[in-house]
Amino acid sequence: MTTAGESTGSTARPRADLRAEFADCDLDRHLALFYESTATQLDTVAAFLSYGLETGHRCVYLVDANPRSRIENALRAEGVDVAAKLDAGDLAIRDASEVYLDEGFERNGTVAELRSEAERSAAEGYEGLWVAGENTWAFDGETSFDEVVDFEVAFDAACPDFAVTALCQYDLRRFDEAAAAKALRTHQQIVYDRTLCENPFHVSPEEYRSEEGGADARIMLKQARGIAESNRELRRREQRLSVLSRVLRHNIRNDLNVVRGALEDLTGSESLTAAEADLVAAAARHADAVIETAEKARYIQQTIGSSEVEPTPLGPVIERAVEEVRSEHPNARIRTPDSSDQVVLADVNLDIALEEAIRNGIVHQDDPAPTVSVAVSTPASERVRVEVRNPGSIPDHELRCFRERGETPLAHGSGLGLWLVRWIVESAHGTVEFANDDDRTRVRFDLYRVAD
């Protein structure tokens, strides 16, 4: 029978996909599985436990609604030699009441029992303890979900140094919306519809206790799954683009180096007419320009691939950028502020962005001693502005690219440096403006100021 909200039939995600997600992600100490069919539950716990066993963890499964044999069969279907793992002590399947206690949930006793399992796993040389527990007991009798949250906090406090990963399980057919929403809000990572999701609705235990009212858990779960799928597609797209970029850069560089070598041979030939020699020289210049662009693309990918945002003193950034550009262009006259004690929120590559802005101003001047000025101001109490000015102008087709925030068939930027400037500044929620004013170019960064 098809259940609301979960994929079925040919649209269900394979267990292998979920297992790969467990392998690719840094798992939190507490994960929550939400399911509406036993098949989905068994697929998920089998993928979770089999990966835990494969990576050297001791795994404990706590059965409640399911018979022990059903869990063992699910693990066998995943390729686990259940008998061997049980005999070796790598796997234990226990009745939930042995851990959560027969006469009702008691937090301290449960914490002590799980701490004992964690200590045993560490003492026997395992990488850590993985626990998967069926939570059908959680709202039976007089147990409230607040007690379950208190238990998880107490367990973390009692076992802070033990490597423990727990998969709590919630059957949406048994729990009402309010209970399911509480469980959802208190887990940083969740599994729904065979998909591992970072939970956008997660709150700390303190925030959870202060909240009032309920929520539609199924809508929240579908939204979390949708976000996870979107993020996964973005990662796949980035990977494809990275591969294509690397292959294209490699091929362009290698092939054009061959072309460049042939052109150099031709340049030395005495059989060329003056017109032919000019054509060869022009071809060589264009080949060099494309090689330079390919190298620039590689440099940009490496730079933005190491992006982090942090409070950054502006003075040392300006000093490093100016020093680097002066080493390349010793005849350039670069004016800078006497000092700048501002601290801004910025990408760690801010000095590279400033280098590019200054370098761009130098290379597009015909003057043998080009002039560039760098100024710092505070247009608003929460903002710091860095402005680079120089004689000359940015070509109109380049400015159109930036105004339209992308390249179009009729507006292609010839260089990558200014795009690197934009990407670095905007990664810290800053803004960039490129403009031509009275035969002068202005590149302006606005960054968030970090208060003293």
- Give the residue-averaged pLDDT of 413-438: 80
Within-domain flag for 155: yes
pLDDT for 3 equals 43
Mean of all residue pLDDT scores within the chain:
80
Tell whether the model's pLDDT for residue 4 goes beyond 60. Answer: no
Q: Which of 180, 215, 250 is the last residue of a domain?
A: 215
Per-residue burial over 78-98, b if 16 or more Cβ lie within 10 Å, else e, is bebebeebeeeebbebbebee
Co-location of 203 and 344 in the same domain: no
What would the mean pLDDT of 230-250 be, rounded to a whole number?
Answer: 68
pLDDT at 323: 94
Residue 152 has pLDDT above 60, yes or no: yes
Domain presence at residue 398: yes
Mean pLDDT check: name the lowest of 64-78, 153-167, 238-252, 362-376. 238-252
CATH of residue 167's domain is 3.40.50.300
CA angle in degrees (0–180, nearest 5) for 45-195-135: 40
Say whether pLDDT at 374 is over 90: yes
345 assigned to some structural domain: yes
User: What CATH number is associated with residue 425?
Assistant: 3.30.565.10
Is residue 371 predicted with pLDDT exceeding 80? yes
pLDDT at 409: 39
pLDDT band, residue 412 (cuts 50/70/90): very low
Lowest-pLDDT range, 39-53, 311-325, 387-401? 387-401
pLDDT at position 266: 84
Q: pLDDT: is 225 or 414 the higher one? A: 225
Kindly state the average pLDDT of the residues 388-412: 64
What pLDDT is stored for residue 388 in this prediction? 94
State how far the Cα of 364 lies from the Cα of 343, in Å rounded to an integer.
31
Q: Are 77 and 83 in contact (CB under 8 A)?
A: no
The string of pLDDT tens digits covering residues 53-96 is: 999 999 999 998 899 999 999 999 999 999 999 999 999 999 88
Q: How far is CA 245 from the centre of its chain?
A: 20
Bigger pLDDT: 42 or 297? 42
**Weakest-pLDDT range from 127-131, 239-243, 369-373:** 239-243
Question: To which residue do tokens 């367990």 refer?
Answer: 155
Whether residue 242 lies inside any domain: the answer is: no
- Percent of the chain at pLDDT exceeding 70: 77
pLDDT per residue as tens digits for the range 169-205 = 888 888 777 777 777 877 889 899 888 888 887 777 6
Q: Of 215, 234, 250, which marks where a domain is finished?
A: 215
Same domain, residue pair 157 and 18: yes
Same domain, 58 and 206: yes
Task: Determine, yes or no, domain membership for 353.
Answer: yes
Q: Check residue 315 and give its pLDDT.
A: 92
Q: Is the residue at 328 inside a domain?
A: yes
Are residues 451 and 341 located together in one domain of the fold? yes
Residues 424 and 347: beta-carbon distance below 8 Å = yes
Q: What pLDDT, on the 0 to 100 scale, is given for residue 330? A: 93
Instruction: State the burial class of residue 130 (Cβ atoms within 10 Å of its Cβ: 0-12, 13-18, 19+).
Output: buried
Say if 230 falls within a structural domain: no
- pLDDT confidence of residue 403: 59
User: Which residue segment(s) compose the domain that 140 sits in?
Assistant: 9-215
Domains of the chain: total: 2
Higher pLDDT, 159 or 102: 159
Domain boundary among 215, 242, 275: 215
Burial 281-320 (b: 16+ CB within 10 A, else e): eebbeebeeebeebebbeebeebbeeeeeeebebbebbee
Closest CA to 35 of 140, 143, 190, 200: 190
* Mean pLDDT, range 3-14, rounded to an integer: 47
With contact defined as beta carbons under 8 Å apart, do 96 and 129 qualify?
Answer: no
